[in-house]
């Protein structure tokens, strides 16, 4: 591959206000290669590919396509040149059909009927079965990604940019994707592959470019590196790995029990929970795996009390609380960390000490209120200070607004706020989503430590590496039902993938490649930044 | 003309302004913008149309002025909500209040003056049909425009590429932007279209319905038009059904009052609005249809990250 490069980006710089998202980044993509773009969250990967796809304009730098300098003023320009993109957060329209979604990304003048035929033909050819007239809202996440890929392929692109494509897939669906990618590369197309999953990068990528804090740190060949050497290039220092000792839970007390929990769907596109049962014992970490949108948020809402269920469906500390408020549950020793930190877990415009009050006003002993009305500010301030010290929260002032903290620091605060209470039951949803590797390791260790002190911890996560790193038992949620929680030793990526529903929308016409049980997953987990 | 004939004609007359305003607002909302200023755009259309037709003696110039009045108001709305990213709800409410006040000022000198009537266009043969002949085929140009607009909007939204883009923008503006569409430009055109339709609706009120200028003469029709869009669950054809249903209730309460029913007249006058509420309750029960057609980005401002 010494021919002229397909794409050369030179000195790409992008400034958002005071933030330098890309600082003189160089990137070279050869024809027919799978090129990995690696970096932690916030390293500038997404900014760089948005520039290459024409949806952002660089502050400085030049893009050379097939030896000619080009200026990409919008995505249509990029598509005309032969650059296609598969988005991480899909750019799809839920209430429209597959063919309508695809037509939107193609130039005008296509007959819908003819386009439908081409979609079904191309999708079958590449083993990505799709029906042109299905409504996107009815499709699984994996099927939605196929729409993006087929949409991209119909433009006959020479360069396909993929942003974190496997983060939403079951392991089986990921295998299918890898096959498609290798085939595309075999056809002479290049793929720019963004990921933080180092094992898969090592497996399928020919070359890699690594970014850190917006700067280029290395070009390398992934197959010649180890997962941990790649990780330290990404992070800049080695990340402490999480310590977990084996414990026997057979005699441990059950601290929370879900007993045939049913919850009707809240709308036509929402998920119904059906007969979910789970015992949570003191001392253990139980993880619930699953592809996004299979009932995780509904389950969290039911356990935390945001939505009421039958009284006996949720039992905390031997009391039926299914129809009780969140404060009652907190008083029984339960604590909850919801998924969206900015929109759900904190009020961004309030100070940390005030946010402490939001979850602890009713459960704290002695009370944080004078006569139940006036706030004891010194007390909440002290607690905020203590959380900041124990969880290494870096902040510019003693008691900043929650919204001014970085994602990782805010997540440490949100988790720390609950752990600081020493709850007997802790329910956490996506504990390290969008958090840098250092903060993720700290949070995971804190969860394990809390459990080993006798509390029960339930983690709802889509990150399988994280789950294998911290969980004692693993259950899988799929279409609103929960599989039996099995000890981590009895689980493999392949088993979890099958429980997640394997390959969605498969009518049996494609063979599902076998997945190698990935023992390296746990060890590479420390470098997992998202 | 017998009673049934006359009844039908009066129902059509009461329904047409609702239909015009609703079909315009439907397009606006499909693009993700909620313009609560329909009432204000309508009344500005009404006063501009009335004043111009009276001054020039030409009702068609009046219609043009009505269009311009409604369009000008919608451009003000677009400038505030799309340009300056003001809150759509608050801006829409302000637009309604502004229109009501400003039109009163413009129209001060015309109160009580009879206006120029918009002539009817008799469609030969068809207009001689029994019962429906007069109501459907011996009408003024605005009635025909209203019906054609429903055809046009239905084709635009579901058969044309523009409509696909417009719906995409209303469904998920971030995705539309990522694909390279100019979200706020699409919305600007939609809002302008809504203004034109509201202006036509107002022109109909002052040139056909009353043929007089009366302050606050829209009397809440703009709000009914907004409710009709929800009633129609954002589907163009259903606005016809909705508009005629409400037009019928509006007329029947007059007849009920005329027939001397032992019901307080205030209660009868409230009937169309009660009917609106009842209809909205029933329509929102079928969540699936509502959800699929409801523009997901309705009422949300979009600021590109470029």
Closest residue in A to B177 (Cα) is: A55
Closest-CA residue to A467 (of A447, A449, A450): A447
As a whole number, mean pLDDT of residues B69-95 equals 96
Q: Say how many residues make up chain B.
A: 306
Would you call B91 exposed, middle or buried from its count of C-beta atoms within 10 A (0-12, 13-18, 19+)? Answer: buried
Tell whether A100 is within 8 A of chain B (Cβ). Answer: yes
**Nearest-angstrom CA–CA distance, A530 and A514:** 26
Q: Which residues of A touch B233 (CB under 8 A)?
A: none
Tell whether A265 is within 8 A of chain B (Cβ). Answer: no
**Nearest-angstrom CA–CA distance, B5 and B133:** 8
Q: Annotate A265-326 with three-state secondary structure.
A: CCCCCCCCEEEEEEEEECCCEEEEECCCCCCHHHHHHHHHCCCCCCHHHEEECCEECCCCCH
CA distance B176 to chain A (A): 7
Given pLDDT bands bounded at 50, 70 and 90, which one contains residue B102?
Answer: very high
Closest-CA residue to A256 (of A421, A429, A457, A450): A457
Tell whether A113 is within 8 A of chain B (Cβ). Answer: no
Backbone angles phi, psi at B301, to 5 degrees: -80, 155
Tell whether A94 is within 8 A of chain B (Cβ). Answer: yes
Tens digit of each residue's pLDDT (9 = 90 or more) over B137-147: 878 899 999 99
Closest residue in A to B176 (Cα) is: A91
Closest-CA residue to B283 (of B222, B225, B221, B238): B238
Contact between residue A202 and residue A222 where contact means Cβ atoms under 8 Å apart: yes
Q: Domain-by-domain residue ranges, chain A?
A: 7-235, 254-491
A-B contacts at Cβ under 8 angstroms: 61
Query: What confidence score (pLDDT) does residue A530 get?
Result: 34
Contact between residue B272 and residue B280 where contact means Cβ atoms under 8 Å apart: no
CA distance A422 to chain B (A): 41
Instruction: Specify the CATH architecture of the domain A254-491.
Output: 3-Layer(aba) Sandwich (3.40)
Tell whether A104 is within 8 A of chain B (Cβ). Answer: yes
Tell whether B177 is within 8 A of chain A (Cβ). Answer: yes
Question: Of B159, B161, B179, which to mutate for an interface test with A (greatest number of A Cβ within 10 Å)?
Answer: B179
DSSP letter, residue B111:
T
Q: What Cα–Cα distance (Å) separates residue A222 from each residue in A48, A191, A210, A226, A227?
A: 20, 15, 11, 8, 9
Tell whether A80 is within 8 A of chain B (Cβ). Answer: no
| Helix intervals (H) in A337-423 | 352-360, 377-390, 407-419
Closest-CA residue to A447 (of A316, A284, A246): A284
Instruction: Please report the ipTM that was assigned to this predicted complex.
Output: 0.84
Query: What confidence score (pLDDT) does residue B305 get?
Result: 66
Q: Domain-by-domain residue ranges, chain B?
A: 11-120+127-293
Encoding tokens for residue B12? 């059509």
Instruction: Return the CATH number of the domain spanning residue range A7-235.
Output: 3.40.50.300
Q: Say how many residues make up chain A.
A: 530
Would you call B26 exposed, middle or buried from its count of C-beta atoms within 10 A (0-12, 13-18, 19+)? Answer: buried
Contact between residue B228 and residue B239 where contact means Cβ atoms under 8 Å apart: yes
CA distance A58 to chain B (A): 10
B164 closest CB neighbour out of A74, A79, A100: A100
Residue position matching structure tokens 């509904």: A298
Task: Give kind and range of the element (H or E) at residue A473.
Answer: strand A473-478
Rounded to the nearest 5 degrees, what angle is found at the Cα of A480, between the Cα atoms of A474 and A482?
A: 25
Half-sphere exposure of A186 (CA within 13 A, CB side): 8
Half-sphere exposure of A463 (CA within 13 A, CB side): 25
As a whole number, mean pLDDT of residues B14-30 equals 96
**Nearest-angstrom CA–CA distance, B236 and B153:** 7
Residue A366: cis peptide before it, omega within 30 degrees of 0: yes
Taking phi over 0 as left and psi of -120 to 50 as alpha, with beta for the rest, A97 belongs to beta
Name the β-bridge partners of A428.
A337, A459
CATH: 1.25.40, 1.10.3470, 1.10.287, 1.10.10. Which one for B11-120+127-293? 1.10.3470
Residue A307's CB is within 10 A of a number of other CB atoms, namely 16
Name the β-bridge partners of A337.
A428
**Nearest-angstrom CA–CA distance, B213 and B49:** 10
Given pLDDT bands bounded at 50, 70 and 90, which one contains residue B185?
Answer: very high
B179 closest CB neighbour out of A104, A137, A269: A104
**Nearest-angstrom CA–CA distance, A153 and A158:** 9
Tell whether B297 is within 8 A of chain A (Cβ). Answer: no
Tell whether B164 is within 8 A of chain A (Cβ). Answer: yes
Tens digit of each residue's pLDDT (9 = 90 or more) over B242-276: 899 888 888 888 888 777 777 787 787 787 778 77
Average predicted confidence (pLDDT) for chain B: 89
Contact between residue A9 and residue A200 where contact means Cβ atoms under 8 Å apart: no
Given pLDDT bands bounded at 50, 70 and 90, which one contains residue B75?
Answer: very high
Query: What confidence score (pLDDT) does residue A3 get?
Result: 67
Q: What is the pLDDT along chain A (530 residues), one digit of tens a residue?
A: 456 899 999 999 998 877 788 999 999 999 999 999 988 777 888 889 989 998 888 999 999 999 999 998 888 889 889 999 988 666 889 889 999 999 998 887 778 889 999 999 988 888 788 889 888 888 877 788 889 889 888 888 999 999 888 877 788 888 888 998 999 999 999 999 988 778 888 899 999 999 988 899 989 999 898 888 888 888 777 667 778 877 788 788 999 999 999 999 876 667 899 999 999 999 999 999 988 788 998 999 999 999 999 999 999 999 999 999 999 999 999 999 998 887 788 998 899 999 998 888 878 777 788 877 888 888 889 999 999 999 988 887 888 998 888 777 889 999 999 999 999 999 999 898 777 777 888 999 999 999 999 999 999 998 888 899 999 999 999 989 999 999 999 998 888 888 887 666 554 444 444 444 343 333 333 333 33
Q: B48-57, B76-85, B135-144 — which is least confidently predicted?
A: B135-144
């Amino acid at each position: 591959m010494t021919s002229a490069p397909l794409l050369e980006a030179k000195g790409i710089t992008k400034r958002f206000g005071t933030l330098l998202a890309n600082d003189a980044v160089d990137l070279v993509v050869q024809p027919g290669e799978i090129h990995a773009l690696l970096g932690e969250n916030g390293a500038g990967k997404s900014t760089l590919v948005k520039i290459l796809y024409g949806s952002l304009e660089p502050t400085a730098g030049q893009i050379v396509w097939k030896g000619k300098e080009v200026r990409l003023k919008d995505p249509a320009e990029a598509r005309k040149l032969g650059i296609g993109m598969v988005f991480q957060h899909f750019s799809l329209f839920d209430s429209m059909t597959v063919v309508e979604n695809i037509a939107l990304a193609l130039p005008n003048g296509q007959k819908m009927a003819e386009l439908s035929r081409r979609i079904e033909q191309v999708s079958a050819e590449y083993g990505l079965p799709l029906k042109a007239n299905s409504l996107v809202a009815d499709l699984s996440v994996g099927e939605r990604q196929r729409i993006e890929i087929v949409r991209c392929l119909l433009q006959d692109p020479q360069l396909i940019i993929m942003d974190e494509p496997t983060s939403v897939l079951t392991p089986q669906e990921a295998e299918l994707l890898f096959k498609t990618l290798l085939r595309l590369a075999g056809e002479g197309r290049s793929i720019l592959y963004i990921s933080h999953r180092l094992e898969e990068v090592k497996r399928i990528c020919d070359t890699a470019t690594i970014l850190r804090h917006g700067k280029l740190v290395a070009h390398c060949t992934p197959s010649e590196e180890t997962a941990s050497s790649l990780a330290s290039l990404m992070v800049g220092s080695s990340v402490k790995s999480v310590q977990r000792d084996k414990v026997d839970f057979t005699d441990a007390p059950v601290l929370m029990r879900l007993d045939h929990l049913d919850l009707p769907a809240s709308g036509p596109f929402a998920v119904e929970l059906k007969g979910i049962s789970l015992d949570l014992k003191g001392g253990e970490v139980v993880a619930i795996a699953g592809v996004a949108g299979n009932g995780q948020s509904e389950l969290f809402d039911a356990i935390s009390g945001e939505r009421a269920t039958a009284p006996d469906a949720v039992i905390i500390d031997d009391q039926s609380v299914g129809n009780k408020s969140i404060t009652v549950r907190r008083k029984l020793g339960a604590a909850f960390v919801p998924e969206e930190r900015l929109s759900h877990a904190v009020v961004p415009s309030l100070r940390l000490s005030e946010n402490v009050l939001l979850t602890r006003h009713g459960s704290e002993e002695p009370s944080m209120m004078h006569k139940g009305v006036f706030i004891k500010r010194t007390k909440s301030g002290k607690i905020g200070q203590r959380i900041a010290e124990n969880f290494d929260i870096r902040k510019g002032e003693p008691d900043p607004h929650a919204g001014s903290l970085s994602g990782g620091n805010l997540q440490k605060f949100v988790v720390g706020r609950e752990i600081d209470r020493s709850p007997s039951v802790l329910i956490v949803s996506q504990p390290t989503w969008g958090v840098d590797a250092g903060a993720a390791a700290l949070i995971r260790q804190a969860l394990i430590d809390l459990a080993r002190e006798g509390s029960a911890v339930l983690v709802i996560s889509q990150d399988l590496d994280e789950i294998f790193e911290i969980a004692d038992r693993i259950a899988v949620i799929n279409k609103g039902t929960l599989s039996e929680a099995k000890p981590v030793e009895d689980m493999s990526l392949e088993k979890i993938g099958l429980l997640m529903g394997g390959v969605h929308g498969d009518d049996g016409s494609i063979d599902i490649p076998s997945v190698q049980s990935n023992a390296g997953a746990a060890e590479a987990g420390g470098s997992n930044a998202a | 003309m017998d009673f049934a004939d006359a009844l039908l004609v009066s129902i059509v007359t009461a329904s047409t302004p609702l239909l015009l305003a609703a079909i315009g607002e439907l397009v606006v909302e499909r693009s993700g913008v909620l313009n609560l200023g329909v009432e204000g755009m309508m009344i500005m259309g009404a006063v501009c149309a009335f004043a111009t037709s009276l001054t020039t003696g030409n009702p068609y110039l009046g219609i043009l002025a009505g269009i311009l009045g409604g369009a000008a108001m919608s451009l003000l709305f677009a400038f505030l909500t799309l340009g300056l990213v003001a809150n759509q709800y608050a801006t829409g409410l302000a637009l309604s209040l502004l229109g009501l006040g400003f039109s009163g000022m413009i129209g001060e000198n015309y109160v009580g003056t009879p206006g120029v009537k918009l002539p009817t266009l008799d469609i030969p043969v068809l207009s001689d049909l029994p019962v429906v002949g007069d109501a459907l085929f011996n009408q003024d140009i605005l009635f025909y425009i209203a019906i054609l607009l429903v055809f046009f909007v239905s084709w635009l939204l579901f058969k044309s590429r523009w409509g696909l883009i417009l719906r995409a923008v209303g469904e998920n503006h971030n995705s539309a932007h990522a694909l390279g569409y100019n979200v706020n430009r699409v919305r600007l055109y939609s809002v302008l279209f809504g203004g034109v339709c509201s202006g036509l609706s107002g022109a109909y009120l002052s040139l056909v319905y009353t043929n007089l200028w009366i302050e606050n003469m829209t009397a809440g029709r703009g709000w009914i038009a907004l409710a009709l869009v929800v009633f129609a669950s954002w589907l163009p054809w259903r606005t016809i059904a909705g508009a005629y249903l409400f037009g019928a209730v509006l007329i029947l309460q007059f007849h009920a009052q005329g027939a001397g029913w032992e019901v307080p007249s205030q209660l009868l006058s409230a009937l169309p609005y009660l009917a609106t509420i009842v209809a909205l309750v029933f329509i929102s029960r079928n969540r699936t249809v509502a959800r699929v057609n409801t523009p997901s980005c309705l009422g949300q401002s979009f600021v590109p990250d470029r």
